[in-house]
């Protein structure tokens, strides 16, 4: 069975915290399935070495990629992710940045899809309040949305549900 590589970038630790919370949830269902990496110290070979990939990314500086992801993503230019199953989770602040909520999820998924990846882990926008987001297609985000600034009481349940969803979609559950 293929393993899952979970790659996160995090400037103030919130995405890192959620990444490890997510690993705990995966471990409950499938011990040892998930390896966690900080994208800031990850090579392209490590990234592409996984058949199943989860990316965690916060949006920074009003609609921008988190710094380590901004540095890593150009390295994927010309790299094939064909056949890989990828799911994304994003952290943002819907109250403070309601016109750019989770934008980085949209930018990141664009790049991953250009490389030929299959995108899973879409998540309904019900229960969030924001004006605009590059991460939205119709009534779904392109990945799990987490708001540790405004809705941290919902994080654990959201992570748990999404992990179950992704295990099913990756056909690993």
Ligand X SMILES: Cc1cc2nc3c(=O)[nH]c(=O)nc-3n(C[C@H](O)[C@H](O)[C@H](O)COP(=O)(O)O)c2cc1C
- Name the site residues for ligand X (rule: CB under 6 A): 10-15, 58-63, 66, 91-93, 97, 100-103, 148-149
Q: Give CA separation, 27 vs 31, 52, 169, in Å.
A: 4, 15, 17
132 touches 99 (CB < 8 A):
yes
> Whole-number minimum distance, CB 40 to ligand X, in Å?
11
Question: ∠ at Cα 140 (136, 144), nearest 5°?
Answer: 90
Residue nearest to ligand X (CB): 92
Compare residues 84 and 93 and give the one whose CB is closer to ligand X.
Answer: 93
76 touches 116 (CB < 8 A):
no
> Whole-number minimum distance, CB 100 to ligand X, in Å?
4
> Whole-number minimum distance, CB 89 to ligand X, in Å?
11
Compare residues 25 and 94 and give the one whose CB is closer to ligand X.
Answer: 94
């Amino acid at each position: 069975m293929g393993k899952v590589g979970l790659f996160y970038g995090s400037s103030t630790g919130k995405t890192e915290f959620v990444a490890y919370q997510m690993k705990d949830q995966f471990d409950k269902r499938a011990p040892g399935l998930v390896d966690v990496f900080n994208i800031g110290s990850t090579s392209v070979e490590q990234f592409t070495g996984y058949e199943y990939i989860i990316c965690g990314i916060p949006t920074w500086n009003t609609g921008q990629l988190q710094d380590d992801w901004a540095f890593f993503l150009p390295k994927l230019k010309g790299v094939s992710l064909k056949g890989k199953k990828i799911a994304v989770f994003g952290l943002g602040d819907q109250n403070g940045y309601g016109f750019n909520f989770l934008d980085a999820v949209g930018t990141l998924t664009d790049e991953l899809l250009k490389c030929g990846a299959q995108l899973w882990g879409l998540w309904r926008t019900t229960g969030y309040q924001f004006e605009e987001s590059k991460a939205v297609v119709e009534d779904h985000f392109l990945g799990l949305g987490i708001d540790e600034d405004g809705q941290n009481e919902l994080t654990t349940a959201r992570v748990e549900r999404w992990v179950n969803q992704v295990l099913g979609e990756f056909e690993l559950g």
